[in-house]
Amino acid sequence: MLGLELTAMALKRSLENQKETLSESFTEAYNKTLKQYHGFIVKKMFGVAMMACPDRETFYKKIGGDNEGAHEQLLAWVTALQGLLNELNIFYASGAFDKGL
């Protein structure tokens, strides 16, 4: 679930900060979601993976174009994903499943 939270947060950040690179958006989202659970080696591997992250122009062309309509559709998708994640977090917390087994 944290991987989906990272994805939603990074894409939303990317849409809101047009001058930011995708690797910056994903790195910032990683820092707020998964980084605390990873050891030294995995953190370094994530940094290396971000070097392979495509540039904004290439990414947005591949998913529908770098235009207002495509951005609106992606923002709607990200918003819906965040809503689902919020519901899942509430469900996990209500049953104390968020504390682990």
Q: Quick one: angle between helices 2-16 and 22-33, nearest 10?
A: 140
Answer whether residue 101 shows pLDDT above 60: no
Helix boundaries (H) for 17-55: 22-33, 40-50
Number of C-beta neighbours around residue 11 at 10 A: 22
pTM here is 0.86
Answer whether residue 67 shows pLDDT above 90: no
Torsion angle in degrees (nearest 10) through CA of 84, 97, 90, 16: -50
